[in-house]
Amino acid sequence: MVTDHPSVQTIWTWLDQVPDPEIPAISLVDLGIIRDVAWVDDTLEVTVTPTYSGCPATSIINLDVEAALREHGIQHLRLKRQLSPAWTTDWMTEKGRSKLEAYGIAPPQPSGGPKQCPRCKSPHLERISQFGSTPCKAQWRCTDCLEPFDYFKCH
């Protein structure tokens, strides 16, 4: 039997066009929360891991994934939630990191704080608060240009 499933690679490309609902500058694939895409017989299984357990975007993300894949003609779809291994910002793509910075959000760094001001690139920074406008961000300020900015927390 000849299968006419779109390939898994094609589906990854489609998912890479679905924006994160809270930070639309990056895609769900950039964010690193799509953990697996696989065909099980005629059903497409997409494994998604939540960023933060209470992130209100989680249910919207599932809806967006479903809507995008249905639009591409996928009929049998199953979304699987995976908690372990827990999501980490290490899974964010390089492309996602540069897009974040261009958007004005400092990308996560292993040191635990932003490397430079996303606007003037100064390394002279101070933390305002460990929490920010969404669970994944903290508030920092540049002491050179004095602008506050969001830092995508290393998680």
Least distance to other proteins, CB of residue 13, Å: 29
Give CA–CA dist 149/147, Å, rounded.
6
Interface residue with other proteins among 7, 122, 130, 143 (CB under 8 A) is: 130
How many whole angstroms separate alpha carbon 55 and alpha carbon 28?
14
- Between CA 115 and CA 108 the distance in angstroms is 9
Cis peptide, bond prior to residue 123, ω within 30 of zero = no
Q: Which does 133 bind (CB under 5 to 8 A by kind): Zn ion, other proteins, none?
A: other proteins
According to CB under 5 A, which residues from 97 to 126 bind Zn ion? 117, 119-120, 122
Q: Least distance (Å) from Zn ion to the CB of residue 106? A: 10
Nearer to Zn ion, 87 or 152 (CB): 152
98-126 burial: b if 16+ Cβ within 10 Å, else e? ebbbeeebbbbbeeebbeebbeeeeeebe
Q: Which of 84, 94, 110, 146 binds other proteins (CB under 8 A)?
A: 84
By the criterion CB under 8 A, which residues form the site for other proteins? 50, 52-56, 83-86, 128-133, 135, 139, 155
